[in-house]
Chains A and B, each alone.
Chain A
Amino acid sequence: MFEASGYGCPSIHDQNRKLIFENEEAGVRYFWVKPSDVAIYVEHGAADIGVAGKDILLEYEPDLYELLDLAVGKCRMAVAGPSVFRDDPGKTLRVATKFPNIARHYYAKQSRAIDIIKLNGSIELAPLLGLSDVIVDIVETGTTLKENGLEPLETIVPISARLIANKVSFKFKNTEIKALCQSLSEYCQEVKRQHDKDSTLRRNAE
């Protein structure tokens, strides 16, 4: 995506274990960091801009600018549980999740009493072993859930990748960041147009 917008970096395709890639001509440098750390790097100004999932932004609520919805990596944050699950509002709901903040906000809006169980992986296991009643997690296709006898019950919020920027970098490197934002946004629109066209064609063919 950045490549198509003129911010490519050839060395990124090399097979190695480097974490930093640089293209001096385009004046960009890429870091390869853990998804949940992207927002931290940007918030503290170690990186000027970054690409992070909305899930991370909602969970950690970092203080930064969210400039663009890149419309990739689309999925949703959802509540999921065993297909036989019936919610009993008279009891405290036990929720296992990697995203305690999002889960807390969601249930606080409904004034529902919950117990949050913070896990770091294999969330789907929790309701199977009776650790929790439901889980709050990212659902893409639902295959993992289905294979473990779970199904999505409620959607909390749709998720996609966002272009984020450090607030101070945005000011001091305003021209560069605005230009990048502009060409990325054009690229995204082009992709969307292409996608719409394809689906219309497909529908017509059917």
Chain B
Amino acid sequence: MEQQEYMLNQEEQVVFKLRSLYRQYGYQQYKMSNFEEYDLYAENKNFLVSQNVITFTGANGKLMALKPDVTLSIIKNSPDEPEDLEKVCYNENVYRVDGGSHEFKELVQTGLECIGHIDLYAMGEVLMLAARSLQSIHPNYILDVSHLAFVQGILDEAGLNESQRSEILRCMNSKNTPELSALCAAWQIREDLALSLQELTGLYAPMGEALLRLKELTVNEKTQAALDELSGVYQLLCADACQEHVYLDFSLTNDMQYYNGLVFRGFVDGLPRSVLSGGRYDKLVHRLGKQGGAIGFAVYLDLLERLNRNQQPYDVDVLLLYGDDADLTALAQTVRMLTMNGQSVKAQRKENGSLRYRQLLLMKERGVEILETHD
């Protein structure tokens, strides 16, 4: 087993661990086709991380797309049973424009979705699995959690219009407290609400500590309900002893057309971008004409190769050279013997200098001669 894990690269190891984790909690593996009708994405463009989609004309003349996202397809194809709870997980390739290079890339995305009747336990379980997923990537991880309804509650109270709301959210997203307070002053937002918004923007603390602060900031039923939900989820995380990695951060402002309630994002030490992202998106489910709710997350594995940079010192354990006169049966036997000892062998006629090997052997008529050994 250990030998096999050593053979897998970082990305494959993580996929392997995540899949067995999700299976343990009763998530069914979901396999989907590579293509989807373009209409699905065109109607829900803002839900996508990057709005560019690779399209082509299908055999029947319909405009098709290489899937840029998995969640939309899963929700579209899920049964419409609001009282039931469906739990699925997936591991798929998706095609989207990479933020850094502005080119299309094939990315591996793993994740899970809970669709149907979402209660407190389901939310807690998804968050806990998100934390566990991050842990399996790196022991030093952080899961940031936010609750959109809490922010919305305060914005409702302040009576702001759509464009003002999006300006406020933009400031919160970049933790830009100076600009936020300037905006609040310009729009004459009630002073206590303005202070709450500033505090939420600056807030970044372990969840237990932050919840105490939030208690003082609730202004109406909506914020109270959001706070109750956060506290409930926090209890469940404590029960699983992963609460110290979970932080409250209101700079997560996912698109409110699709998301409501909990949203979260995961980071591991050493990677400059988030590797996990998810939330509660009942609104998306409703947009696709279904009842019930949904919560889920995706883990992006394309960045993982940056985590482990130490190179293998050797390309191959043994480089076995042989000449024209070599006995091929003996050569085959030697190769088999070495591989059975667990060594990797490359047999070739000439050494060209580009391969790094632990041992250099030469096949002679009467046996094998050791030419070089590094250790």
List A residues at the B interface (Cβ < 8 Å): 43-45, 63-69, 166-168, 170-172, 174
Contacts and interface: CB of A to CB of B under 8 A. Distances in A.
B204 A168 contact: no
A104 to B, nearest CB: 17
B123 to A, nearest CB: 22
Contact of A170 (B140, B204, B271): B204
B174 A168 contact: no
A168 B178 contact: no
Interface of B is mostly: loop
Contacts of B267: 168, 171-172
28 contacts: A44-B100, A44-B272, A45-B271, A45-B272, A45-B273, A64-B174, A65-B174, A65-B175, A65-B176, A65-B251, A66-B175, A66-B179, A67-B175, A67-B177, A68-B178, A69-B179, A166-B272, A167-B274, A168-B267, A168-B271, A168-B272, A170-B175, A171-B142, A171-B144, A171-B247, A172-B140, A172-B267, A174-B204
Interface in B207-265: 247, 249, 251
B269 interface: yes
Interface in B162-202: 174-179
Interface residues of B, number: 21
Contacts of A174: 204
B100 to A, nearest CB: 7
Nearest to A164: B174
Interface in B117-143: 140, 142
Contacts of B100: 44
B174 A66 contact: yes
The CB with the most chain A CB atoms within 10 A, among B175, B204, B251, B267, is that of B175
Contacts of A67: 175-177
A45 B272 CA distance: 5
Nearest to A168: B267
Nearest to B144: A171
A64 B100 CA distance: 14
A69 B251 contact: no
A64 B176 CA distance: 10
A171 B270 CA distance: 12
A65 B247 CA distance: 17
Interface string B139-153: 010101000000000
Contacts of B174: 64-66
A167 B100 CA distance: 15
B137 to A, nearest CB: 14
Contacts of B179: 66, 69
Given A65-B174, A66-B176, A174-B204, A168 B144 contact: no
Interface string B264-295: 00010101111000000000000000000000
Nearest to A166: B272
Contacts of B177: 67
Contact of A172 (B176, B178, B251, B269): B269
Contacts of B247: 171
A66 B176 CA distance: 5
A172 B272 CA distance: 11
B238 to A, nearest CB: 20
Contacts of A63: 99
Contacts of A45: 271-273
Contacts of B274: 167-168
Contacts of B175: 65-67, 170
A26 B262 CA distance: 39
Contacts of B269: 172
Given A66-B179, A172-B142, 6 more contacts: A44-B100, A65-B176, A66-B174, A67-B175, A68-B178, A172-B269
A194 B273 CA distance: 40
Contacts of B273: 45, 167-168
A118 B106 CA distance: 33
Nearest to B265: A167
A63 B277 CA distance: 15
A167 B144 CA distance: 11
Nearest to B143: A171
Nearest to B140: A172
Contacts of B204: 170-171, 174
A170 B174 CA distance: 11
A171 B99 CA distance: 21
A122 to B, nearest CB: 28
A27 B251 CA distance: 27
Nearest to A45: B272
B263 to A, nearest CB: 15
Contacts of A44: 100, 272
